[in-house]
Structure 1
Amino acid sequence: MGDFENSPNDKSGVITADEYKEKANAFFKEQQYDKAIEYYSKAIELDPKNAIYYSNRSFAYLKTEAFGFALADATKAVELQKSYTKAYYRRATAYMALGKFKLALRDYEAVHKACPNDKDARLKYNECNKLVKKLAFEKAIAVNEVKKSVVDSINFDSITIEEDYSGPALEDGKVTEKFIKDLLATYKQQGKLHRKYAYKILFDVKSYFMEQPSLIDVTIEDNEKFTVCGDIHGQFYDLMNIFELNGLPSPTNPYLFNGDFVDRGSFSVECIFTLFSFKLLYPEKFFMSRGNHESHTMNQMYGFEGEVRSKYTAQMADLFTEVYNWLPLAHCLNKRVLVMHGGLFAKDGVKLDDIRSIDRNRQPPEEGLMCDLLWSDPQNAEGRAPSKRGVGIQFGPDVTKAFIEENGLDYIVRSHEVKSEGYEVAHNEKCITVFSAPNYCDTMGNKGAFITLRGKDMKPKFTSYTAVPHPDIKPMAYANPLLSLIA
């Protein structure tokens, strides 16, 4: 039920609409999803009562992670054609992507009832039903017990290191340059860090982040080069390529990684332990912001939790959730450039001190400052609009201008969106997007990019690069099977 559909050319006026749809289908097959959306939209303009057009466009929106728009289109298709099972599938997938599992279950149930002999429909219904029951059980337990940290439940000293282990080793319990060198070499050969060292890194990095504010002020010296990277999404070999191109992090080569280190790519464990190790080695010269994928719901759906369970334990997956809750939400560079993963806010008048005072030790809420920092996107139109993602908002050039003027900033940098060149300069050069995962999910064909700037003038310089080969493990290999439509 994952394919898009063709509709018959049997009504006056529909032929032209169908021609648009055929062009859209061709763009979809070539993975040019934005073009597909454009042509499905033209078909809808000419024939706004055709459920297939909305359903096909919903599918394209799913591919571009515009889950809010995908949800709206699938709902419209259902309204136009109550028996249209593909539309229910697409709406369920959008609900799953947004973490609205009960609503997804309702749609999977509708498909299962309409197609009782369809094995895929039955599988998806059963999987979603299990997930909803599991979450309800966990919620019931949580009400009746005081939530203990995973750190308190692990007897670290009892974890033994086997005699035949020859991988990277912490020195006196600390990350060193040698440890990181050995770690990177091990990961490149698809080796594994011992769970004892993995737990120690997580304990230590959690303790460090707990002491940090929600907004970190970063000082960059006049002639110091500073690098900002966007989403990595578990693409470890592309992360290594960044270090090849731009040098390893060091006291003289500082970096900021701007969220979404994990999920989708199937080397997320390697990415996050690499980044956390650099954070512990160079805490004042290596920075990490939280992204919308550093959250329990996203990790549950998009592969990180499954990958941690596969390579380590379910307990470690829970510990990652605790660590992510303490990641800073934004960084201010030389009091001139604000860097956050998503974007600006649903209301005017937000000050940097408002960001500093956010209570971030929690799962991202569905609205408010923390939500907007992690989820929002820029738009070309003035003002604000509901988000294409179904979470956060879209903000225009006037919103950016007002925010930077009110806070005495030069511009903002954010990530969160695939860009063909790996970056985009928008809003009269006041809003920059940087995305560092090239050929995202092995399908998008985009370049990755990073930004370098110097403290003297804070002018951004962009470096784009293409994807490098990686071992034959597909993206989303550890993801929830219910997301197979958008894998």
Structure 2
Amino acid sequence: MLLELKAPINICGNICGQYTDLLRHFEQGGFLPESNYLFLGGYVNRGKRRYNIKLWKLFTNCFNCLPAAAVINEKIFCCHGGLSPELHSLDQIRQIQRPTDVPDYGLLCDLLWSDPSTNVENWQENYGVSSEFGANVVKEVVEDGYEFFANHQLVTIFSAPDYTGEYDNAGALMSIDQNLTYSFKILHSRTKQINNQNNNMNNLSLTQMDISQENVHQTNIGNGEALKDSNVYTLNKEV
């Protein structure tokens, strides 16, 4: 199953169950239905509380019904994982029938679980699940890409700042306008945000600070900040 979408649109990577940060992204990118969003997976994560296994199965059944990938304006290919040695045409993705469980190998598995790697030129097995792919593989499928991988042809998006509370990372929302111009809206970690406010307001106690306004800015794709997660490519005309 392949979504075929039109810009303008916002692309969101892993949320990891961080609902409040999702709302922060909506504040910057616009709320539905005025703004359109494409979510690339990574919706849930382990938390401090455990719910009934029946609820977990309901989520799993829901995920088995979701599309496997998306194309924006017939030029930008988006998926949670990456490319596959079995992928030769987008029609192969269109023909995937869902709902279905994700197999241990093959095209659907690769779209969800393969990873780009700077240490691989073509294909390499990835810890027994799917595969890693290198810049040469990306070159076969895309042209005129972005910046972060394979000579500006691939960008990865991670949208959960302060991931698991252990990483002082930012979260990015990628915005694509009607002209297919790209920019990032960055959510900085709350720890870094508070530290910056402390440095700028040494005489004001933390309890008096107004931290309701998020420290968010737009970054051109040439200077974008993102952690490896969901992947966005440009397509060449033969695909």
TM-score range normalised by the length of the shorter chain: 0.7 to 0.9
Q: Are 1:367 and 2:89 counterparts?
A: no
**Aligned equivalents of 2:77 and 2:151: distance in 1?**
16
Q: Are 1:261 and 2:43 counterparts?
A: yes
Pairs within 5 Å for 1:127-206? none
What whole-Å deviation, never above 9, does each CA across 1:190-221 have from its counterpart, x for those lacking one? xxxxxxxxxxxxxxxxxxxxxxxx1011122x
Count of residue pairs the alignment pairs up:
190
Structure 1 residue 411, shift from structure 2 partner: 4.2
**Aligned equivalents of 1:248 and 1:468: distance in 2?**
22
**Aligned equivalents of 2:22 and 2:153: distance in 1?**
27
The equivalent of 1:398 in structure 2 is: 136
Please state whether the residue corresponding to 1:322 is helix, strand or coil.
Answer: helix
Q: TM-score, normalised by structure 1?
A: 0.37
| Aligned 8 A contact 2:82 2:112 in 1 | yes
Give the letter aligned to residue 448 of structure 1. Answer: G
The equivalent of 2:83 in structure 1 is: 344
What whole-Å deviation, never above 9, does each CA across 1:407-431 have from its counterpart, x for those lacking one? xxx548xxxxxxxxxxx72111111
Pairs within 5 Å for 1:244-323? 244-250=27-33, 252-265=34-47, 306-307=50-51, 309=52, 314-323=53-62
| Aligned 8 A contact 2:17 2:44 in 1 | yes
| Aligned 8 A contact 1:378 1:395 in 2 | yes
The equivalent of 2:185 in structure 1 is: 463
Q: Are 1:435 and 2:163 counterparts?
A: no
Structure 1 residue 434, shift from structure 2 partner: 0.3
Q: Are 1:234 and 2:21 counterparts?
A: no
| Aligned 8 A contact 1:338 1:411 in 2 | no
**Aligned equivalents of 1:360 and 1:455: distance in 2?**
30
The equivalent of 1:358 in structure 2 is: 96
Which is richer in strand? 2
Change (3 A) 1:248 1:334: same
**Aligned equivalents of 1:436 and 1:450: distance in 2?**
6
| Aligned 8 A contact 1:238 1:467 in 2 | no
Structure 1 residue 265, shift from structure 2 partner: 4.5
Structure 1 residue 326, shift from structure 2 partner: 0.6
**Aligned equivalents of 2:115 and 2:30: distance in 1?**
30
The equivalent of 2:125 in structure 1 is: 386
**Aligned equivalents of 2:88 and 2:47: distance in 1?**
34
The equivalent of 2:199 in structure 1 is: none
**Which of 228, 235, 243 is residue 26 of structure 2 equivalent to?**
243
Which is richer in helix? 1
Give the letter aligned to residue 434 of structure 1. Answer: I
Q: Percent same amino acid at aligned positions?
A: 36
**More displaced 10-residue stretch of structure 1: 319-328 or 363-372:** 319-328
Structure 1 residue 257, shift from structure 2 partner: 1.0
| Aligned 8 A contact 1:229 1:258 in 2 | yes
Structure 1 residue 442, shift from structure 2 partner: 0.5
The equivalent of 2:167 in structure 1 is: 444
Give the letter aligned to residue 360 of structure 1. Answer: R
**Which of 71, 74, 99 is residue 332 of structure 1 equivalent to?**
71
| Aligned 8 A contact 1:450 1:464 in 2 | yes
| Aligned 8 A contact 2:2 2:70 in 1 | yes
Radius of gyration: which is bigger? 1
Please state whether the residue corresponding to 1:426 is helix, strand or coil.
Answer: coil
Give the letter aligned to residue 395 of structure 1. Answer: F
Structure 1 residue 462, shift from structure 2 partner: 1.5
Output the aligned Cα RMSD.
Answer: 2.1
What whole-Å deviation, never above 9, does each CA across 1:316-374 have from its counterpart, x for those lacking one? 43332222111001110000001100000134x52100111113322211110000000
Give unmatched runs, 5+ long, in structure 2.
192-239
| Aligned 8 A contact 2:28 2:185 in 1 | no
Give the letter aligned to residue 233 of structure 1. Answer: C
Q: Which has the higher contact order (CA 8 A, sep 6+)?
A: 2
Give the letter aligned to residue 123 of structure 2. Answer: R
Please state whether the residue corresponding to 2:3 is helix, strand or coil.
Answer: strand
**Aligned equivalents of 2:128 and 2:21: distance in 1?**
29
